[in-house]
Structure 1
Amino acid sequence: MIQLADFQLQTIGKLIESMEDDKREVILKSPTGSGKTIILTHFIDEYGKGQFDNVFVWLTPGKGDLEEQSKEKMDRYIHNSQTKLLPDVMAEGFKENDACFINWEKLTKKGNNALKESEKTNFQEHITQAHNNGLSFIIIVDESHQNDTVKADDIIQLFKPKKIIRTSATPKKLVNATLIEVDEVDVIAEGLIKKMLIINEDFGRSITVDNQVGYLLDKALEKQAELKKVYKEHDSITNPLIIIQLPNNSDVLQNEVELYLASKDVTYENGLLAVWLNNKKQNLEEIENLDAKPIAVIIKQAVATGWDCPRAQILVKLRENTSETFEIQTIGRIRRMPEAKHYENDLLDSCYLYTFDEKFTEGVKLHLRKGALDAVKLFLKQKHRNVTLISEQKSSLSISKDAIQALKSLLGFYQMEYGVTTKTGENKTRLEAKGYIFSEEIVKKIYTGEVRTLTSDEFKNLQSVQLVEPLNTHKHGREYHNRISALGLSLNLQYEQMNTIIRRLFDKNVRYDQKILRLQTREVYAFVINNFYKLKEDIQSAMSSMDIQETLSLNGIIETPFHLPKEFLFTYDGENRVQREYDRNVYSGYLSSAEVRSDSEKSFEKYCEEAESIEWLYKNGDKGSEYFSIVYQDNFGKQKSFYPDYVLSKDGEIWIIETKGGFSRTGESEDIDKFSPKKFEVLKRYLNKHNLKGGFVRKDKSNNELFICMDEYNDDIKGSSWILLSEVLS
């Protein structure tokens, strides 16, 4: 069974929830490399287990066999899945829980003989028969931006779908649609895509070239050789691939590229060069393999949809006279990590673009924002090479899979929030008083009344009516599964783990010494279905609350000496008008335009540069064993790494500082990190243990000043915990 990432589990949970809202369309915005197919196939499986009478139709774009690839992936990921291709549908029709993979072009392209007119009639009859059998269609439109046409819409409407899920890295906005967005930061954190795109590395402020094509290809070939050498040092067989993208209608330029590469002994004949054009394909066999021989492939603007080559890491985008539309998918081709993990090496964990095309560069920066920056390698000043700290790293021991810590946390929350004890009869009264529903039947709320104007106040005046339905173990058993799955997915727990927690706390037939309730199996079904939203709210509170966390043992932490890295890839905004060098930074050439930086970080770096008592400042990385980290645990008992933002020296003393979101002009917290209190406590523990100083720094926008908290953390800027930074680091 494939191990899903936390963000993938959360996205599946959101997709399941979206099936119940009143919006017919769902937009899934998912970056290239995030495992979109994995997410959608697991969604089909989970939702199908909990619901009756659904057929899933997955529409794929483009030429080739993308529908077959997607079907093959679902067969691999989901055992006993009911997958079909178009010929299977034509032969057998649609059945409940089918997942049918169909290529758009076989239904829409004029002159395509894959589906003759008589067969199209047949196809429509199969749809009609499915409707007559009480089946409903859920349509998944893969790469939806590529088939936004009247013909495509006509096909979708044939199915009269109850839901349409449109998925793309660059979806078109729909006003009345549920948007589910996979955060690129989460995909990067899981090691699936590269941390950074580096544009025109080491080009400097001004360059003179005799041959633009040769200059860019030389840069790419040098980078390819450098990457391959470092992959070998990391015991990886990866042979990084250069994608050379030509403008459309550019035969002369193609010839120039081929001749220049031949002068560097990169040819079709020796297998180092591949080409993928409509009229020419060569050396493409197994080019996706990590150790495949070609080091460069020539393509044009439209890369074949579904082409997946994770070793592609360098893009050379050659200039054309008229700028073509920027395609984010092109950049997506070089962002995947070849082995679905980071190497904790900036060189390998980045991808590279070389181009003189200003419009394309603007398009990249517009889409990737801070994910595409200017970069240069900086070196540590000699006088700081002896700075040493103790860095903590997570143990390699895997955490228990029976969710025991989650169970303890949930029990602790119910004890704190509702005052529950081992007296299950009294517990029922307490929970009922706080809004929990107890019934052997399924109770749902509907509303009745008149609405004259479509305002929220009018809807508040509607009368609620209870709709009571006798419990049917067959029908509601599936709904129970669906609800348990949704509860678990929102917390990154598999169905079996979530079911174990619910049964131990509430089911009288499952042994557990500290039961909250003792319900019969039928009553557990009804309890979960009737109280789904209440349970979800309480479970999420239990997982994130500081108040109920037990003192957890931090066994297995690995302590290692940490030295400031001797070199690192510095990213900055080259278009910023102010390019001031910060002399107090430990690296030569560190600029005030450093990116990516929060407002608090920028203000803190500026403050340290101007404060006479600060001797030096180091900006820490945010992931990887090469950076300074401290270990803490969440409420599941899972170890996490905390990377404080800064290490500095003040009057010969080492300080460790974490910057957080500031306070608004009205004093409201802008810190979105729910783990801030835990991180503060673990930082205090570390500072006390190693006899160092430090704290959390935040910016107060009401006076534009920085404040530091060193003793007791809270979210009240007016409280005595927050001290003016200049009074401490002056």
Structure 2
Amino acid sequence: MFRLADFQLNTINQLKDSMYENENEIVLKSPTGSGKTIILTHFIDEYGKGHFNNVFIWLTPGKGDLEEQSKEKMDKYIKNSSTKLLSDVLISGFKENDACFINWEKLTKKGNKALREAEKENLQERIKMAHNNGLEFIVIIDESHQNNTVKANDIIELFNPKKIIRSSATPKNIANARVINVPEEDVMAEGLIKKMLVINEGFGSNLTVENQVGFLLDKAIEKQEELKQAFEEIGSFVNPLIVIQLPNNNEVIHDEVERYLATKDITYDNGLLAVWLDKKNENLEGIEENDAKPIAIIIKQAIATGWDCPRAHILVKLRENTSETFEIQTIGRIRRMPEVMHYENDLLDSCYLYTFDEKFTDGVKKHMGDGALKGEKLFLKQEYRDIKLTTEYKTDLSKSRDASKALRAFHAFYEEEYGVTGKTKENKIRLSGSNKYVFSDKVVKKVASGTITFLNKEEFENLERSNLVEPLNTHTHGRDYHNRVSALGAKVGLSYEQVNTIIRRLFDENVKYDKKILRLSTREVYSFVLNNFNRLKEDLRIAMAKPFVHPSMPLETYIEKEIYLPREFLFTYDDKNRVQREYQSNVYKGYLSSAEKRSDSEKTFEKFCEDNRNVDWVYKNGDKGSEYLSIVYKDNADNQKSFYPDYVVSIKGKIWIIETKGGFSKAGESEDIDRFSPKKFQELKRYLEKNDLKGGFVRKDKSNNELFICVDNYSDDISGEEWQLLSDIISNE
């Protein structure tokens, strides 16, 4: 059964919410591989069910019949949906809740005969007729960065849309628009895209090459064979694909690539090579299937838009002087996970780029930040191959989320945070006032007014804020209430029904519960949720992370296993860093001070260990995967989660487990954004006691640039006695 990811549900809810906001344009910025089509088709379906007289126009770019692909996807995901192509519209016109998929080029491209003048006039008549029938248009522009032209804008104006939704991984011109940003880490966490893009793995610092094309292709073929073997070892039939991107108008390189691949027995005739060019197409049928035969495909620009081939794993980039936007779209084609999950294996969970185009490499790094790094394979030093650790795995039997525990946690949070008691009238006073909960039988929205001189953030923030009050309409605002409750659930992994039950039991006078916080009428519950959505969202999120519900877990709720340190791993680093110091204390040979991704606390801790003579060795733990050390804990809805401590360190022969967290500012304020830190600390302490180890949480105090460690009772107060100078603790061992 198809299941939407939490971030997709959250994005759908944000899209629905944005339909009530003032901005006419909505920008959906979502990484390639995040399922933008899935998100938008479900949004169309859900919004259409509760709202009337709408027609959705889905505009797609360029080549590849993308409009037909998008229509087919909506027909697949949304049963009984009313989808149309342009030809259908010209024949039968627009009807309520139609989703019409139209290719931009059929309307805008100069000299395009696909749409004759009579048909253009007919389309305009169909639009006019729809307006006369009281229909309103919502225009969705897919890959919006590609057709931002005067002609395209004229087409949009024909529809006179009440909302425009622009969708792209790299949107342009987003001023005065409501921006909905899908974080890449959320997409990654769901296993939809690969964790890392590794650039020029194994190139080293000095390179002498006789044949650039042959060198890059050799690297790609070696990596393809390594990936293929790794897939076979886990019983997967995925055949990883190499994408070879040629420069435009360069037949010489095209011929050279084909000739070189032939020497490796990769040809069109034996089915191992495919090509997708304007004037040449071979072996493309079924190439998107995970077990398809071709191991390499030669492409130019045609591949960039609308091609969905999750087994594409490696890019050899031979293009020159192209726009960064297009290139990033191409990178997106190798970032999808072929089986929509991570394999907990760095080799399979990464994608690979081989290129000598430094301009392109810099553009990718600029766009992706720490998601694109130089990579090298490092090997475990001989003397550390017998080190064993006990790891904990979540049980295979997935427990259903426990709404009753979430309810108790939410109530306990209100007791601790706001001091609520059984006296509901007094609780209302406590929650209002300085705690800023709004109580009204009307719906209150904040609006800004005033004058500004410069278009900057500070002046906008200084505008006067006033309340726009609407009488509560259970029909209109009822839909808003359901959307808000669904969004609350998406934040903490609970269903709409579970969150609605929690809200009703705590706040609704008509639902019995012995620990009522408020006694509101049904209408007041609606306005309470709508007026206090952001505060409820934050409070519910904190409540799920508080450590007061599960001080420790029963041992039977997880599985224990002994593991060794991984013999090898993919080391990623910043090759542009001027300092490339090799850390001798690290268990891997060749581990550099320029290691990335690393937080400031992690970098400081690694340097501290390297310079401290009491440290025998340091191991940087992975952040996901069965080969790494993990500790199991629960949130307050009984969801099992895995916590991967950052470091295993040997200090004077004794093993310590260390988790680094965001530091403290110079003013002593906490910079730790992890709401689950207290819970993780609790479970780390349990793990250390059970396995007779030492350890704790380490954080950096920016007022003195020193590292401090907490080993007994977790606190967010750096001035408290719970935090001790790390160097003192280690020297006293």
- Do they fold alike, i.e. is TM over 0.5? yes
Aligned partner of 1:581 in structure 2 is 582
What residue identity is the alignment partner of 1:174?
I
Tell me the equivalent position of 2:121.
Answer: 121
Shift of 1:414: 4.2
Counterparts of residues 492-531 of structure 1 (less than 5 Å): 492-506=493-507, 525=526, 528-529=529-530
Which residue pairs with 2:456 in the alignment?
none
| Larger mean Cα displacement after TM superposition, 150-159 or 614-623 | 150-159
Aligned equivalents of 1:173, 1:622: Cα separation in 2: 36
RMSD over aligned Cα atoms: 2.9
Once residues 270 and 395 of structure 2 are traced to their aligned partners in structure 1, the CA distance between those partners, rounded to angstroms, is 46
Between the aligned partners of 2:537 and 2:313, the Cα distance in structure 1 is 42
How far 1:42 sits from its partner (Å)? 2.4
Matched, 1:227 2:230: no
Unaligned runs of 5+ in 1: none
Structure 2: distance between partners of 1:476 and 1:385: 62
Choose 215-224 or 175-184, whichever is displaced more: 175-184
Deviations 1:452-498 (A, max 9, x none): 66867985485x574435x4x54444343333333333444343333
| Structure 2 match to 1:57 | 57
Q: 1:380 to 1:113 in 2, by over 3 A?
A: same
2:68 aligns with 68
Aligned residues of 1:446 and 1:465 also touching (Cα < 8 A)? yes
Structure 1 counterpart of 2:357, one-letter code: D
In the TM superposition, what is the alpha-carbon distance from 1:307 to its structure 2 partner?
Answer: 0.5
Letter in 2 for 1:601: E
> What stretches of structure 2 of length at least 5 have no aligned partner?
454-458
Per the alignment, residue 624 of structure 2 pairs with 623
Cα distance in 2 between the residues matched to 1:663 and 1:532: 30
Q: 2:606 is matched with which residue?
A: 605
Contact 1:314 1:351 in 2 (8 A): yes
CA contact 1:12–1:489 (8 Å) conserved in 2: no
How far off is 1:138 after superposition?
2.5
Structure 1 residue 429: deviation in Å?
A: 7.8
The amino acid of 1:278's aligned partner reads D
Q: 1:442, CA displacement in angstroms?
A: 4.5
Distance 1:667 1:422 in 2: 36
1: CA distance, partners of 2:462 / 2:671: 33
Task: State the distance in 1 between where 2:430 and 2:252 align.
Answer: 80
Task: Write the letter of the residue equivalent to 1:298.
Answer: I
Change in Cα spacing, 1:484 to 1:595, as seen in structure 2 (3 Å) is closer
> What is the match of residue 388 of structure 2?
388
Aligned residue type for 1:23 = E
The Cα shift of 1:601 comes to: 1.0
Residue of structure 1 equivalent to 2:31: 31
Q: State the 1:228 CA deviation.
A: 1.0
Q: How does 1:46-445 map to 2 (within 5 A)?
A: 46-318=46-318, 320=320, 325=324, 327-401=327-401, 403-416=403-416, 442-444=442-444
Corresponding position: 1:677 with 2:678 = yes
Tell me by how many angstroms 1:521 deviates.
Answer: 5.7
Relative to 1, partners in 2 of residues 1:546 and 1:51: Cα closer, same or farther, differing over 3 Å? farther
The count of corresponding residues between Structure 1 and Structure 2 is: 724
1:310 Cα shift? 0.8
SS of the residue aligned with 1:100?
Answer: strand
Cα distance in 2 for partners of 1:80, 1:368 equals 39
Q: Distance in 2 between matches of 1:421 and 1:50?
A: 39
3-state SS of the aligned residue for 1:221?
Answer: helix
Counterpart Cα distance in 2 of 1:71 and 1:362: 36
Alpha-carbon distance, 1:172 to partner = 1.4
Whole-angstrom CA distance in 1 between matches of 2:384 and 2:423: 62
Q: Would you say the 8 A contact 1:26–1:166 is kept in 2?
A: yes
Q: Pick closer, same or farther for the CA change 1:551–1:87 going to 2, 3 Å.
A: farther
**Offset, 1:612:** 0.7
- The more displaced of 521-530 and 398-407 is 521-530
* Secondary structure of the corresponding residue to residue 648 of structure 1: strand
| Structure 2 CA distance for partners of 1:61 and 1:620, relative to 1, 3 Å | same
Distance 2:251 2:62 in 1: 24
- SS of 2:724's equivalent? strand
Report whether the alignment pairs 1:468 with 2:471.
yes
SS of the equivalent of 2:686 reads helix
> Residue 247 of structure 1 contacts residue 301 of structure 1 at CA under 8 Å; is this kept in 2?
no
Is the contact made by 2:664 and 2:699 (CA closer than 8 Å) also made in structure 1?
yes
Residues 134-168 of structure 1: per-residue CA shift (max 9 Å, x gap): 44333221111111111111112222223222111
Q: State the distance in 2 between where 1:508 and 1:196 align.
A: 51
Q: Secondary structure at the match of 2:289?
A: coil
CA gap of 1:409–1:49, structure 2 versus 1, over 3 A, is farther
Shift of the 323–529 alpha-carbon distance from structure 1 to 2, 3 Å rule, reads closer
Q: Is the 8 A contact 2:105 2:112 kept in 1?
A: yes
Q: CA deviation at 1:189?
A: 2.1
Q: How does 1:39-50 map to 2 (within 5 A)?
A: 39-50=39-50
Distance 1:136 1:205, change over 3 A: same
Cα 1:126–1:552 shift into 2, 3 Å: farther
For the structure 1 residues 319 and 610, does the alpha-carbon distance in structure 2 shift closer, same or farther, using more than 3 Å as the test? same
- In the other structure, the counterpart of 2:10 is 10
- Compute the displacement of 1:123 (Å): 2.6
2:188 maps to amino acid: I
Q: TM-score, normalised by structure 1?
A: 0.91
In 2, distance between residues paired with 1:419 and 1:717?
A: 25
AA at the equivalent of 1:583:
Q
Moved more, 91-100 or 426-435: 426-435
The aligned counterpart of 2:572 is 571
Change (3 A) 1:538 1:223: closer
**Contact preservation (8 Å) 1:16, 1:486:** no
More moved, 151-160 vs 482-491: 482-491
SS of 1:571's equivalent in the other structure is strand
Q: Which residue of 2 aligns with 1:661?
A: 662
Deviation at 1:236, TM superposition (A): 0.5
- Following superposition, the deviation at residue 100 of structure 1 comes to 2.5
Q: Distance in 2 between matches of 1:475 and 1:447?
A: 20
**TM superposition shift of 1:213:** 1.5
Q: 1:435 offset after TM fit, Å? A: 6.9
The farther-off stretch of 409-418 and 195-204 is: 409-418
Taking a change above 3 Å as real, the CA distance of residues 622 and 566 of structure 1, as seen in their structure-2 partners, is: same
The 1:111/1:595 distance shift into structure 2, 3 A limit, reads same
- What one-letter code is carried by the residue in structure 2 that aligns with 1:293? K
Distance change (3 Å), C-alpha of 1:700 and 1:413: closer
Q: Is the 8 A contact 2:446 2:465 kept in 1?
A: no
Give the direction of change, closer, same or farther, for the CA distance of 1:483–1:203 in structure 2 (3 Å limit). Answer: closer
Alpha-carbon distance in structure 2 between the residues aligned to 1:491 and 1:292:
39
Identity of aligned residues (%): 68
SS at match of 2:102: strand
1:132 Cα deviation (Å)? Answer: 4.0
Q: For residue 543 of structure 1, what is the aligned residue in structure 2?
A: 544
8 A contact 2:657–2:695 mirrored in 1: yes
**What is residue 727 of structure 2 aligned with on the other side?**
726
Aligned in 2, Cα 1:599/1:500: closer, same or farther, shift over 3 Å?
Answer: same
Are the aligned partners of 2:506 and 2:513 in contact in 1 as well (CA < 8 Å)? yes
Cα separation, partners in 2 of 1:100 and 1:409, compared to 1, 3 Å: farther
Report the alpha carbon displacement of residue 401 of structure 1 after superposing the two structures with TM.
4.8
Provide the rounded CA distance (Å) in 2 between the counterparts of 1:221 and 1:452: 62
Q: 1:681 to 1:256 in 2, by over 3 A?
A: same
- Is the contact between residue 442 and residue 529 of structure 1 (CA under 8 Å) also seen in structure 2? no
Secondary structure in 2 matching 1:699: strand
Q: Which amino acid aligns with 2:220?
A: A
What is the one-letter code of the residue matched to 2:699?
A: R
Structure 2 letter corresponding to 1:680? F
The two structures have a TM-score, normalised by structure 2, of 0.91
1:327 match: secondary structure = helix
